[in-house]
Amino acid sequence: MALLVQKYGGTSVGDPERIRRVADRISRYRGRGHDLVVVVSAMGQTTDELVTLAASVTPDAVRRHPREMDMLLTAGERISMALLAMAIREQGLEAISFTGSQAAIITDDRHTVARIEEVRADRVRRELAAGRVVIIAGFQGVSRGREVTTLGRGGSDTTAVALSAALGAERCDIFTDVDGIFTADPRKVTSARRIPLIGYDEMLELAAAGASVTHPRAVEIAARYGVVVRVLSSLLEGEDGGTTIARRIPSMEDPVLTGVASEAGYGQLVLRGLPPEMTTMTLVLSRLTLAEVSVDLLTQVDQADGRRSIQLTVAASELTQAEETCQGVVAELGGEGVDVTHDLARLTLVGSGMHKRPGVFARAFQVLRDQGVEVHSVSATSISIILMVGGQDEDRAVRLLHEAFKLEEVGQ
């Protein structure tokens, strides 16, 4: 009898009928003798509705009243977990639901963006030992000061993986509305192929690059504790399929590239004519941090005239703030000016063996150039290549790269 942790997202428990279908699935797993811990998100739009309610009482509730925001939002999973527990009990199984607090998901005290510090889960273990299916509210925890906290983005996935690590689960199944991780977004690239097995690092690159199936936080915890995660669709009836994320030893025949992901909504700034001192970069970054701008890509280029340029990309939502801040710094340092490019998309090619194959970089660049896609900047890590292109070129660029690297053909 293996212990499985399963996470069902908001779409999977979006209405009573879907909740009953999740209960059916759990009942089938249970029938095969598995012990089950089930992590649920809030139903469908519940969280959005609660956020809207808060907004109608007070502007900017997350920043102004983070503790009360957590009290409010945690009502969402409370509803879905209780309904799911009822539906499972209707199947003749024993089931019990716990909030994050009751399950002793201990976090720091940073409301709305808490981090898990420890998972005690004593009550969870007791109920498992008593033969019950244990349902746990995702996304939420409790601080050492006994305050209710929420984990922010990717919270329910994070809860599921952290519980898997703490309970020594054989596997953590993340049920979602797509059947795993694909070589590219199937809505953009019709020949995109499901990746059956992917390593933690590659998954992290893909997730950071906008493949929003599982959150990087959850993958990071999985990597640290060696939790085997399977991402699969709750809409499909079978139990095969999906993508398994695990430690992966690459073989000689491994494909170079695993997939390509993209994300729109970026802007780029070039700060020209800055003094070539070490302190220049530090000053720019510290001013941006003060202005609460997150820098995505960052490159420093020495100009022909001996001065220096800094090129950086930021989220489009922070572009105005970033521009204002950079204008200030450039003026202060006696620089030449700031160039701004709006509406960029970020393409990421991910592959485990890529750093050993410099040809990949050149080929990607050339394919896009040949088809008239302007590349605004590039960057690379050991297992990924990032290219910024115009927003209007995003989907076409993804298809060009997917085709150029024959991602639809490679298999395992």
Q: Residue 193: what residue type?
A: R
- Smallest gap from Cβ 101 to a second copy, in A, equals 9
Does 96 engage in binding with a second copy (CB under 8 A)? yes
- List alpha helices for 46-109, DSSP H: 46-57, 61-64, 66-90
Among positions 69, 192, 246, 345, the unique one binding a second copy when judged by CB under 8 A: 69
Per-residue x/- track, 296-325, a second copy (CB under 8 A): ------------------------------
Among positions 3, 45, 68, 321, the unique one binding a second copy when judged by CB under 8 A: 68
Q: Residue 153: what residue type?
A: R
Q: How many residues bind a second copy (CB under 8 A)?
A: 35
Q: What is d(CA 174, CA 10) in angstroms, rounded to the nearest whole number?
A: 12
Residue with smaller CB distance to a second copy, 82 or 283? 82
β-sheet with 308-315: strand ranges across? 295-302, 308-315, 259-274, 337-350, 384-390, 375-381
Residue with smaller CB distance to a second copy, 57 or 362? 57
- Smallest gap from Cβ 84 to a second copy, in A, equals 8
Among positions 50, 189, 345, 401, the unique one binding a second copy when judged by CB under 8 A: 50
Among positions 5, 8, 20, 242, the unique one binding a second copy when judged by CB under 8 A: 20
Residue with smaller CB distance to a second copy, 8 or 266? 8
In the window 119-178, what residues touch a second copy (CB under 8 A)?
Answer: 146
Does 3 engage in binding with a second copy (CB under 8 A)? no
H/E stretch holding 263 reads: strand 259-274
What string of DSSP letters covers 203-262? HHHHHHTT-TTS-HHHHHHHHHHT--EEEEESSSSSS--SEEE------TT--S--EEEE
Q: Is 289 helix (H, G, I), strand (E, B) or coil?
A: helix
Residue with smaller CB distance to a second copy, 71 or 315? 71
Q: What is d(CA 347, CA 398) in angstroms, rounded to the nearest whole number?
A: 7
Phi, psi for 96 (deg, rounded to 5): -145, 140
Residue with smaller CB distance to a second copy, 74 or 107? 74
Q: What is d(CA 348, CA 115) in angstroms, rounded to the nearest whole number?
A: 27
Residues that bind a second copy (CB under 8 A): 16, 19-20, 50, 53-54, 56-58, 61, 64-65, 67-69, 71-72, 74-76, 78-79, 81-83, 85-87, 89-90, 96-97, 99, 102, 146
